[in-house]
Amino acid sequence: MAYDHKAIEAKWQERWESEGIFHTHVDPSRPKFYNVAMYPYPSGELHIGHVRNYTYIDLITRYKMMQGYNVLSPMGWDSFGLPAENLAIETGIHPRISVENQIARMKEHFRKLGAAFDWSRELASHDPAFYRWDQWLFLELFDRGLAYKATAPVNWCPRDQTVLANEQVVDGACERCGTLVEKRNLAQWFFKITEYADRLLDDLDGLDDWPDRVRTMQRNWIGRSEGARFGIEVEGMDESFEVFTTRPDTIFGMTFCVLAPEHPLVGKLIAGGENEGVARDYITRAARESEIERMAEGDKTGVFTGRFAVNPVNGQPVPIYIADYVLMGYGTGAIMAVPGQDQRDWDFATKYGLDIVRTVQPPADWDGQAYLGDGGTINSGFLNGLDQLAAKERIIAWFEEQSIGDRAIQYRLRDWLISRQRYWGCPIPMIDCPECGLVPVPRDDLPVELPDVEDFAPQGQSPLATVEEWVITTCPECGGEARRETDTMDTFVDSSWYFFRYTDPNNSEAIFDPDKADYWMPVDQYIGGVEHAILHLLYARFVTKFLHDIGLSTVDEPFMRMFTQGMLVKDGAKMSKSKGNVVPPDRYYEGYGADALRLFELFVGPPTDDAVWNDSGVPGTKRFLDRVWKMGTASHGFSERAPNHADAELIAATHRTVKKVTEDIDRFHFNTIVSSLMALANEFQTYLSGEPRAEAFDEAYKTMILMLAPAAPHISHELWELRNYQGMLAREPWPTWNEDLVTEATVTMVVQVNGKVRDRVEVASDISPEDAEELALSLEKVQGWIDGASVSKVIARPPNLINFVVG
RNA sequence: GCCCGGGUGGCGGAAUGCAGACGCGAGGGGCUUAAACCCCCUUGAGCCGAAUCGGCUCGUGUGGGUUCGAAUCCCACCCCGGGCACCA
């Protein structure tokens, strides 16, 4: 008999809500557990990919509650951003309206899923009560010189007269009209995250409960490299340029230099030269391409400027090229090229017939490519014979003696550009006064609220610029007429601190109460998609360190334990609206129920991996729940016999499952907890088909319901109540296991000969290596495989395995 | 191009010294007037024998290596996915 999932799920959702069991308060008497799923963009539809994420967070919330923690699991909305704005441009519907409708829809989905969130702490980034603190944070950064204005290029569509996001540029053209996109320089706001580069890098070492791959990605993203910076003179001109290199020891091998096409010196270098026309074309083309496109070209391209640079160590003139594989945004936008020791330079030199001089002795058979290893310096004047490290020290000292350069550290990390020429975001709280310059909006005037506009489409500037009565204001310093900043902030600003706000979401006096934050922070468990492994996590870490530095937070890392989950894939592609392969969860609530859906979401695969959605999976987990239901509600005709081995075995199997499930939850192997519970249910079936005793069954079954509770809460709660156990299941303690019961008296030992399994034998689990060897040798099959040959080695790993090496 | 992951039956996956747990699908059988539901059995490939039982060989993307022993560790290659700073 299938159970009535619709009635049961509605009943318990109502009960949890009316009893407010997930409402949380500061309670220093209990250990806290702060559990956060990355807050979603309210796209309207929750799809089964989201459901996977929230099933994980919900499982942990309920599990930790059962373990006695004071668990905070809040939910909110990343509700500013491009999709709502695009919809507004298309339909004229105000983003606030569409976003709030979508939030309501998604909340309904969460309710139907049985999600255990503390809704009293709900927040949304488009709410002025929230984003005024974005503005406050901006001003704090500004006051300390960590927010500044500088010019940076944007994608510009000359036909639509708008700034485009990278996502809106397809193959170098505007996604809407197909016009070739140009780069245009605008004055924009930055956060000086590079000031924190070293701390962001060093503190990764302490994040032991983060996935290694995420830490590695962050390390590489920050990209600290040590080397030297020095100046190079242009021959026959009173000009020079700086280069940064990690390999100053190879300077004698510099046979050309390369400048980025945007390098400020390029114009002067090519002026009047034979290559001027070609160079100008090249620069125009490079400007159209994105950095990724420039780096992605397998074949390096470049143009000779017609000028030569002077190698400072030997006075040799070397040609200066411009090439798009050198980026203006990294280092000094210019490099010394050493083809002998750098593969990209090697490729370039080979293509353009430039000299290659090796300054590090490669191994004897080395040929046809750059040599990056160590091997003793050659062809390098006063550096000859030194190893790489010594040569570096020597040449840097020489730069300093000559006053042409010095030791330098270079980061790949760039400052965080937060300006967006968009409507649907948080206004930047600055005023531009003709008399006083850039003036911050006074804290008391916050929030600077987003005004309503007629037309949402960006027109060169933010749509805010068209709202004259909003833009024109008075200068807080001199009282004269001034203009507001019309750019809005990157939505990553909102998401870089919202987890602090959850700890004190309704505070109208401060961003949050430091005491409340002190109780809850850091987040004990943070869960989200691996696509956020770099940017969002880095920004959140940066802002947390900043809040720490200004005395608001006692912690300087936000997330103790990080978990990045894989995506759900359907029909060979990532689930997304544009691919049209989104599976909404609704269909499952009706036919199978939230519990069956949740269980399959857990079961579908390892949480860290991408998983493939299979439509017949949910019916499978529903079948399992039906079996559990039937076992717990049918009358079994229990036997009055004395306890025997079968009863003991059922109890032991249950204890083994408690151990396995507990350990698997702790290490995030959610897919195998479902397997283990299914296997246990199969044991129950076997037991019930014999002569079951009520006592053994009740004890084991009660434990199974407890284990099922975090994964499939509705059915578990109903069974708990039906079987007359007292209290709400969600508040029951998580079961423990008895180690003596878990350890089995005998185990199967594998017997190998030369590493191949030849027999198995049942042995006592505490068998000695000697006894194991003797027993194994006595086996007929093993004798047959050894076949009189001499056993040269015995590898004994009792009680699991023994291996005889023969011949 | 650069950085980070991943490749195991028909499918999702399990397994850190026994490859294929658990489930899906498929095939066979039972229940049923019939179907659905439910229950039972079989299910990596190839092979051997005196054949429903016993046994052998191969097999975890490809090729090599380390080891008594490799899905697991190392090297090279192929393929797929994520990120690359204005999607979130």
pLDDT at A1 over 80: no
- Nucleotide closest in space to A617 (CA vs C1'): B24
Which nt sits closest to A83, CA to C1'?
Answer: B87
DSSP letters of A134-166? HHHHHHHHHHTT-EEEEEEEEEEETTTTEEE-G
Q: Is A408 helix (H, G, I), strand (E, B) or coil?
A: strand
Q: How much is the pLDDT for A671?
A: 95
| pLDDT score of A205 | 93
Mean pLDDT of chain A: 92
Q: Which residues contact A687 (CB under 8 A, 6 or more apart)?
A: A646, A649, A650, A696, A697
- Round to whole Å and give the CA distance between A325 and A329: 11
How many residues does the structure list for chain A? 807
Instruction: Name the closest nucleotide to A221, judged by C1' and CA.
Output: B3
User: If you search the block for the tokens 């049918």, which residue do you land on?
Assistant: A634
- What are all long-range contacts of A198-203, with beta carbons under 8 Å and residues at least 24 apart? A198/A224, A199/A545, A199/A556, A200/A413, A200/A538, A200/A541, A200/A542, A200/A545, A203/A541, A203/A545, A203/A556, A203/A557
Q: How confident is the model at residue A338 (pLDDT cuts 50, 70, 90)?
A: very high
Q: Which of residues 35-64 of A touch strand B (CB under 7 A)?
A: 40-41
Distances in whole angstroms, Cα of residue A118 to Cα of each of A111, A115, A199, A234 = 12, 9, 33, 66
B56 closest protein residue (CA to C1'): A758
pLDDT at A725 over 90: yes
Higher-scoring residue by pLDDT: A746, A251: A251
Nearest-angstrom CA–CA distance, A178 and A493: 31
- Whether the CB of A787 is less than 7 Å away from nucleic strand B comes out as no
CA angle (A688 as vertex; A682, A693 as ends), nearest 5: 130
pLDDT at A356: 92
Give chain B positions with protein CB within 7 A: 1-6, 11-15, 17-19, 21-25, 37-40, 55-57, 68-70, 81-88
Respond yes or no on whether the N-terminal peptide bond of residue A769 is cis (omega within 30° of 0). no
Å between A99 CA and B54 C1'? 69
A611 touches strand B (CB under 7 A): yes
- Give the contacts of A597 (CB within 8 A, at least 6 positions apart): A48, A51, A113, A585, A588, A589, A618, A621
Return d(Cα A150, Cα A334) in angstroms, integer.
21
pTM of the model: 0.93
Give residues 248-307 of chain A lying near strand B (Cβ < 7 A).
290-292, 295-298
Å between CA of A112 and C1' of B30: 39
Whether residue A299 is predicted with pLDDT greater than 80 in this model: the reply is no
CB A491 within 7 Å, strand B:
yes
Whole-number pLDDT of residue A337: 94
- Nucleotide nearest the Cα atom of A167 (by C1'): B87
Long-range contacts of A513-519 (CB under 8 A, 24+ apart): A514/A551, A514/A552, A514/A553, A514/A554, A516/A26, A517/A552, A517/A553, A517/A554, A518/A553, A518/A554, A519/A26, A519/A28, A519/A32
Pairing of strands A162-164, A147-157: antiparallel
Structure token pair of residue A504? 């004190």
pLDDT digits (tens, 9 = 90+) for A7-48: 999 999 999 999 999 999 999 999 999 999 999 999 877 788
Measured CA to C1', the nucleotide nearest A487 is B86
CA→C1' distance for A780 and B68 (Å): 21
Enumerate the β-bridge partners of residue A243: A230
A731/B40 CA-to-C1' distance in Å: 40
pLDDT at A408 over 90: yes
A221 Cβ nearer than 7 Å to chain B strand: yes
Does pLDDT of A580 surpass 80?
no
| Nucleotide nearest to A806 in CA–C1' terms | B68
Q: What is the DSSP string of A363-389?
A: -TT--SS---S---B-S-GGGTT--HH
- Nearest-CA residue to the C1' of B1? A296
For residue A669, pLDDT beyond 90: yes
Q: Please tell me whether any atom of strand B lies within 7 Å of the Cβ of A624.
A: yes
**pLDDT for the residue A367:** 72
CA of A52 to C1' of B58 (A): 39
Asked if A162 CB < 7 A from strand B, the reply is no
Is the distance between the Cβ of A567 and the closest atom of strand B smaller than 7 Å? yes
> How far is residue A132's CA from residue A494's CA, in Å, rounded to a whole number?
10
Which of A364-378, A545-559, A594-608, A652-666 comes out lowest in average pLDDT? A364-378
For A703 and B11, how far is CA from C1' in angstroms?
Answer: 33
Residue A213: nearest nucleotide (C-alpha to C1') = B4
- A571 — pLDDT class (breaks 50, 70, 90): low
> Residue A572 — pLDDT band, cuts 50, 70, 90?
low
Å: A74 CA to B46 C1': 57
A619 touches strand B (CB under 7 A): yes
Q: What is the mean pLDDT of residues A584-596?
A: 90
- For A502-604, strand residue ranges (E) read 525-529, 562-565, 568-570, 573-574
Whether nucleic acid strand B comes within 7 Å of the CB of A327, the answer is no
ipTM of the assembly? Answer: 0.94
pLDDT of residue A26: 96
Dihedral, CA of residue A358, residue A360, residue A364 and residue A369, to nearest 10: -50
What mean pLDDT comes out for the span A220-231? 94
Per the structure, the residue whose CA is closest to nucleotide B13 at C1' is A605
DSSP β-ladder status, A746-753 and A611-612? unpaired
The distance (Å) linking the CA of A781 with the C1' of B48 is: 18
* 3-state SS class at A239: coil
How many Å apart are A595 CA and B8 C1'?
30
Q: Which nucleotide is nearest to A422 (CA to C1')?
A: B86
Contact between the CB of A213 and strand B at under 7 Å: yes
Give the distance, in angstroms, between residue A783 CA and nucleotide B67 C1': 24
Name the more confident of A268 and A611.
Answer: A268
Query: Which nucleotide does the CA of A664 lie closest to, via C1'?
Result: B14
- From the Cβ of A730, is strand B under 7 Å away? no
Question: Is there contact between A188 and strand B, defined as CB under 7 Å from any strand atom?
Answer: yes
A631 CA to B32 C1' in angstroms comes to 23
Task: Provide DSSP, A654-687.
Answer: HHHHHHHHHHHHHTT-HHHHHHHHHHHHHHHHHH
Residue type, A354: L
Question: Which H or E element spans position A791?
Answer: strand A791-797
Distance (Å, rounded) from C-alpha A569 to C-alpha A803?
A: 43
Residue type at A423 in one-letter notation: Y
**Window from A168-172, A276-280, A630-634, A686-690 with minimum mean pLDDT:** A168-172
Q: Which of A384, A385, A383 shows the shortest CA–CA distance to A396?
A: A383
- The average pLDDT across A284-297 equals 77
**Where does the pLDDT of residue A297 fall: very low under 50, low under 70, confident under 90, or very high at 90 and above?**
low
Closest nucleotide (CA of A125 to C1')?
B88
Interval A410-427 mean pLDDT = 94
* pLDDT score at A578: 60
- Tokens encoding A666: 């702790």
A83 CB and strand B closer than 7 A: yes
- The residues of A between 747 and 776 with beta carbon within 7 Å of nucleic strand B are 747-748, 750, 752, 754-758, 760
Cβ-Cβ contacts under 8 Å for A8 (sequence gap 6 or more): A593, A714, A715, A718
Confidence (pLDDT) at A244: 94
Nearest nucleotide relative to A607: CA against C1': B13
A187 touches strand B (CB under 7 A): no
